[in-house]
A and B are shown apart, each in its own frame.
Chain A
Amino acid sequence: MPDCLPRREDQAIRDACRTFTQVLRSDLKFEGLFQFVPESLFAAIPLLNPDNPNFEDWKSIGTKVLVVTRADLAGNDLSVEARVHFVDSGQAMLTKRYSGRADNPRSFAHQLSDDIMALTQYRGVARTRIAFASDRDSTKEKRTKELYIVDYDGFNPRRVTVNNSLNILPAWRPDGQALAYVSYRQDRSPLIFLAEIFAGRSRANISGEPSGSQAFAPAWSPDGKRVVFASTRAGNMEIFSANADGTQVRRLTNSAASDTAPCFSPTGQEIAFTSNRTGTPQVYLMDDEGLNLRRLTTVGNYNDAPAWNPSKQYSEIAFTARIEGGFEVAVIDLATRQVRQITEGRGSCEYPAWAPNGRHLVFSCNRGGIWQIGVAARDGREVNSLATGPGNNVQPDWGP
């Protein structure tokens, strides 16, 4: 992937090109599907002719796919032309021209990265966002948390809630337009709210809790029509599901223990959740009517926070496990029941959520007393922390 080439000699275009190239490389590297020809090898071949690349040159340094990009600027309008070639055949797999405002060249690169990913069997994540809770606008005395969203790479943090209360457990509606979350702002009692973040609308108590009842841990069905959550309306904490407007409530669990942290399977027909009915928290599975209950986790005495891989390609559930006194993110394969540990030696890590394509995980780790968002590939490689900004950043959810 050679650098983006400016159409004209102009510092502003050069700068935009540099950002574009950096972001596109980092987006495509993140996806983990491509090997990059080292840039140091580019010097061994003649300079790229963007209009008519010499594919033999590129083949000689091991290139299979060549991404040629050129940028131009007219006033405040940036345009980027991209061509993706199969080097073997010289065929252009993708030819596109992107234009828009020049202030955020990152978004041009994200768009192209996703278009390149669309040539594979996976959906790209470059334009996805992560929601999380943070105390960055709080003080130790206030102990409030607000919700924020950032681009998947940690850039562009934006605050969602502004109510000086405790706002936690954000869950993206599958259309990416709204977050369900728990807020203590009404009568200091935890209820599920809906924030339509781009429309700027908010709805309170979407699970329809009666007075005095608390609701926690909302999660969406894959079609975005139903919400599954924990509620104390029956006395102790049980799992319920309801339409997103609080109608058609269905009780799914019935035990004297606490049942919480539910999530849907990618088909929407099964639900994973946490229960301490055996005395320790463990992950259980049931169908969406609460039947066919069975225990999933059998190793360890503390397993919580199941997150079902949303891709039907991978049949697995991420969760938080207590391992040797600390907490780690792990994944259990539903067919073999094999558990693989994702995090290790990063302090205490918990609360996994999947990228929409199921190829990465996001979670939160406490290292040295500060909670930061972490990201890892689903096979446990490339564990990195995400620079999302100041404060303790927890409870991430990865949106579409």
Chain B
Amino acid sequence: MKKSFALLVILALAACGGTKRPPVVATSAGGASGSGSHGTTAPPPEVVSEGPDIRAVDGSGLGQEALSDESGEGGPLADIHFDYDQSSLTDEARATLERHATWIGAHAGLRISVEGHCDDRGTVEYNLALGEQRARSAYDYLVSLGVPRDRLNTVSYGKERPVDFGVSEAAWARNRRAHFAVSR
């Protein structure tokens, strides 16, 4: 109980920091940001878990290996989505990544695996390349926002791990994504 309360406080800090701090655009080797760079006053925990991008972490999972499932959709960091055959970030994706950077900064010790995924309307190998480009776009932007490189890695799944098996624009759009698997 005590543990999950502490976590909620951290989350609240993260959400708060996200609104106050402009994104750092300078690209560096990383390491400038960290969990200590945020304010020390604790806003009320009620602010937490609001919004579609940041969901409260289930505290009971913190002691375990993975906090969000590999190539799923859940977890504390929402997926970002891409246009067809594109790996460039949309404005919406950038905004989401800015919130993610803040959250990652507030959660020292967690590692983020940035997964790139594609819809199934392309070839196996090129989709693995495209998935890597998508993961790399998200990775580079997070690094530019100050997330240390040693907390991130990229993994391309190409079209191998769809979250939606449907054959429709909506299903394809959902599958063209970067997913953020969080682990300790």
User: Are A188's CB and B113's CB within 8 A?
Assistant: yes
Q: Is A274 an interface residue (CB 8 A)?
A: yes
Stretch binding the partner chain, chosen from A40-48, A85-93, A209-217: A209-217
CA distance A261 to B130 in the complex (A): 13
Q: Mark B152-170, 1 if CB is under 8 A from A, else 0.
A: 0111110011100101000
B residues within 8 A CB of A140? Answer: 165
Cross-interface CB contact of A143 among B122, B124, B132, B160, cutoff 8 Å: B160
A residues within 8 A CB of B167? Answer: 369
Q: Is B125 an interface residue (CB 8 A)?
A: yes
Q: Which residues of B119-140 are within 8 A (CB) of A?
A: 122-126, 128-130, 132-133, 136
Q: Is B7 an interface residue (CB 8 A)?
A: no
Q: A260-B128, A369-B167 are in contact. Are A232 and B123 (CB under 8 A)?
A: no
Q: A232-B154, A261-B126 are in contact. Are A237 and B132 (CB under 8 A)?
A: yes
Interface of B is mostly: mixed
Q: Is B70 an interface residue (CB 8 A)?
A: yes
User: Are B153's CB and A212's CB within 8 A?
Assistant: yes
Q: Is B181 an interface residue (CB 8 A)?
A: yes
Q: How many residues of B contact A (CB 8 A)?
A: 25
Q: A236-B136, A369-B167 are in contact. Are A260 and B125 (CB under 8 A)?
A: yes
Interface residues on A, range: 35 or more
Least CB distance from A341 to B in Å reads 16
Q: Mark A248-262, 1 if CB is under 8 A from B, else 0.
A: 000000000011110
User: Are B155's CB and A258's CB within 8 A?
Assistant: no
Q: A237-B129, A261-B126 are in contact. Are A145 and B155 (CB under 8 A)?
A: no
Q: Is A316 an interface residue (CB 8 A)?
A: no
Q: A188-B113, A327-B123 are in contact. Are A260 and B129 (CB under 8 A)?
A: yes
Q: A188-B113, A369-B167 are in contact. Are A281 and B126 (CB under 8 A)?
A: yes
CA distance A350 to B128 in the complex (A): 14
Q: Is A305 an interface residue (CB 8 A)?
A: yes
CA distance A395 to B181 in the complex (A): 27
User: Are B123's CB and A143's CB within 8 A?
Assistant: no
Q: Mark A114-137, 1 if CB is under 8 A from B, else 0.
A: 000000000000000000000000
Interface centre among B122, B125, B155, B165 (most CB of A within 10 A): B125
A143 nearest in chain B by CB position: B161
Q: Is A394 an interface residue (CB 8 A)?
A: yes
Q: Is A351 an interface residue (CB 8 A)?
A: yes
Q: Is A169 an interface residue (CB 8 A)?
A: yes
Q: Which residues of A257-316 are within 8 A (CB) of B?
A: 258-261, 274, 276, 281, 302, 304-305
B residues within 8 A CB of A232? Answer: 132, 154
User: Are B124's CB and A189's CB within 8 A?
Assistant: no
User: Are B129's CB and A169's CB within 8 A?
Assistant: no
User: Are B154's CB and A304's CB within 8 A?
Assistant: no
CA distance A274 to B124 in the complex (A): 12
A216 nearest in chain B by CB position: B128
Closest A-B pairs by Cβ, 3 of them:
A258-B129, A261-B125, A304-B123
11 A-B pairs whose Cβ atoms sit less than 8 Å apart in the complex: A184-B155, A190-B128, A214-B156, A216-B128, A216-B156, A217-B125, A217-B128, A237-B129, A281-B123, A302-B123, A305-B123
